[in-house]
Amino acid sequence: MDGIVERHSPGLDELGKVARHDLARLNYPPANWVPEKNGPDGKPVLDVLIVGAGMCGQTVGWGLLREGIRNIRVIERNRHGQEGPWNTTARMPTLRSPKHLTGPDLGVPSLTFRAWYEAQHGAEGWEKLYKIPRLDWLSYLLWVRKVVDLEVENGVSLLKVETAGDFLQASLSTGETIFVRKIVLANGRDGSGGFRWPSFPSFDPDDPARAGRVHHTLEEIDFAAFKGKRLGILGVLATAIDNACTALEAGAREAICYARRPHLPQVNKSKGVSFPGFQRGQGMLDDDWRWKIYTYMLAAGSPPPHESVLRAQKLPGFAFRFSEPWLDVKIEKDGVTVTTAKATERFDAVLIGTGFDIDLARRPELQSFVANVTLWGDRRAQTEASANAEAARYPYLGPGFELIEKVPGRTPHLGDIHLFNWGSILSHGALAGDIPGLFVGATRLVQAISHSLFRQDVERHFQRMVDLEDPELAPTDYFVPRDKRAGTL
């Protein structure tokens, strides 16, 4: 983990001024328009609680401020600079995405990654840049957050959400219990489930004996401890390979990546659907199309970036073993025995690179709601759901990324929980997880929250309109005081 993530340079200082001026020209931030409400404790209710200040959470936060929804809090369980994977569990030198992607800027040119990079390295530096260094992306995100003045409460976790009368009630790690109108779960790729652990007869991921012997590739790992060691890695996709490389570069003797499949997946299908029509349109399609598209996408898998494979190919001690699934993993005192379909192997440690699982039942925050959340499996024929068990576990979200009750009325305000993480892809496409869809996703979510808050208060807004008095014509000869006007206006 690197500690230094914030960059300072005269160029960036200057760009900060330009960006703030651009924001001022856009009248940012506009006044808050959402009427104040009091909760059962007599205190003002929070309009939106955003959980997670990674790329998605901070972009939604800045989108809400820009929309004039300012009574919000953004909480983040990690400390400043440790948000998201970039400085914690990501182990690739550069992003997979092309450098020109936009998203966290929400359409403001001076807030793009390119502007940030050029401010430090000039136009020539930008031309020379091949892909975005991982920590640059994090530094850039933190810079955007600072310029748009989004306050983030680091070191604060959401523990539990429940219904409380007209509101939701959120329990935080600070000991606070707060009443809120909307919750946005921007809690990352595992935010709709958790690590995917394969099931083996002799292995239990909760076994304390796995410490130092069996790691998930998305955990924090002490790679220095692998010096001179032999590692087995289950998985051949990006994260598995980057973990193998990191281990070898830290002095491991051997790192072997295993797959059931006979070769690497070859085509990144999501690259081909990274255009506005798909991003905007997927969520508008009927269920049959959405199901067809994403069950195909999930089954297709995604190749590791060629940069990761080239990195691995150069390292002595690296190997792929295809068509060799693991059948069992047994932790022993001095190592791990892995039974594969072809052999019995001894490793000093193994890494499980099988990614994340979608399963809301695993989310402690949502326990009081989870039994009543509509899933895609509830909307498909039994045969289709059984044939696509993973897809069937994805939540079936409404048009504003909101959870939907299975039995209406049983869990009031479930629909005020908006799921802005990877669990939303079947319903909306990849709008809350990857950079390319972020602009469309954050904008859609912000508009939906804006609409919903307005709709809930429409009577108050109407009354305000009726009560509104504005002496526009007072400076003229034609001003008529209210008590002398004809009609009701």
Ligand X SMILES: Cc1cc2nc3c(=O)[nH]c(=O)nc-3n(C[C@H](O)[C@H](O)[C@H](O)COP(=O)(O)OP(=O)(O)OC[C@H]3O[C@@H](n4cnc5c(N)ncnc54)[C@H](O)[C@@H]3O)c2cc1C
Q: Which residues of the chain form contacts with ligand X (CB under 6 A)?
A: 51-52, 54-57, 75-78, 83-85, 90, 95-97, 157-158, 186-189, 239, 365, 421, 433-435
Closest-by-Cβ residue to ligand X is 54
Instruction: Decide whether 352 or 385 has the Cβ nearer to ligand X.
Output: 352
Instruction: Compute CA distances 365 → 51, 169, 187, whole Å.
Output: 11, 11, 11
Closest distance of CB 194 from ligand X, Å:
11
Instruction: Decide whether 19 or 101 has the Cβ nearer to ligand X.
Output: 101
Whether residue 291 contacts residue 376, with contact meaning beta carbons closer than 8 Å, is answered with: yes
Closest distance of CB 407 from ligand X, Å:
26
Closest distance of CB 354 from ligand X, Å:
13
Closest distance of CB 85 from ligand X, Å:
4
Closest distance of CB 442 from ligand X, Å:
10
Instruction: Decide whether 186 or 385 has the Cβ nearer to ligand X.
Output: 186
Closest distance of CB 428 from ligand X, Å:
13
CA angle 353, 357, 361 (to 5 degrees): 145
Instruction: Decide whether 76 or 416 has the Cβ nearer to ligand X.
Output: 76
Instruction: Decide whether 404 or 445 has the Cβ nearer to ligand X.
Output: 445
d(CA 219, CA 202): 21
Instruction: Decide whether 302 or 338 has the Cβ nearer to ligand X.
Output: 302
Closest distance of CB 422 from ligand X, Å:
7
Closest distance of CB 447 from ligand X, Å:
19
Instruction: Decide whether 424 or 450 has the Cβ nearer to ligand X.
Output: 424
d(CA 354, CA 421): 18
d(CA 360, CA 223): 31
Of 63, 88, 66, 90, which Cα lies nearest the Cα of 77? 88
Instruction: Decide whether 245 or 331 has the Cβ nearer to ligand X.
Output: 245
Region for residue 50 given its phi and psi (left: phi exceeds 0; alpha: psi -120 to 50; beta: otherwise) = beta
d(CA 224, CA 145): 33
d(CA 120, CA 402): 40
Of 341, 358, 371, which Cα lies nearest the Cα of 234? 341
Instruction: Decide whether 400 or 433 has the Cβ nearer to ligand X.
Output: 433
Neighbouring-strand partners of residue 232: 256, 350
d(CA 431, CA 401): 10
Beta strands at 230-234 and 254-258: parallel, antiparallel or unpaired: parallel
Closest distance of CB 134 from ligand X, Å:
8
Q: How many residues does the chain have?
A: 489
DSSP 176: -
Instruction: Decide whether 119 or 152 has the Cβ nearer to ligand X.
Output: 152
The full 3-state SS of 82-125, as one line of letters, equals: CCCCCCCCCCCCECCCCCCCCCCCCCCHHHCHHHHHHHHHHHHH
Residues 13, 438, 449, 391, CA torsion sign: negative
Closest distance of CB 313 from ligand X, Å:
20
Chain centroid to Cα 423, Å, comes to 9
Instruction: Decide whether 238 or 373 has the Cβ nearer to ligand X.
Output: 238
Cis peptide bond upstream of 408, omega within 30:
no
DSSP 227: T
Closest distance of CB 199 from ligand X, Å:
23
Closest distance of CB 448 from ligand X, Å:
17
Residues 372, 373, 374, 377, CA torsion sign: negative
Instruction: Decide whether 238 or 385 has the Cβ nearer to ligand X.
Output: 238
Whether residue 354 contacts residue 197, with contact meaning beta carbons closer than 8 Å, is answered with: yes
- The torsion of the CA quartet 269, 272, 274, 280, rounded to 10 degrees, works out to -90
Instruction: Decide whether 308 or 388 has the Cβ nearer to ligand X.
Output: 308
d(CA 428, CA 401): 8
Closest distance of CB 353 from ligand X, Å:
11
Whether residue 395 contacts residue 423, with contact meaning beta carbons closer than 8 Å, is answered with: yes
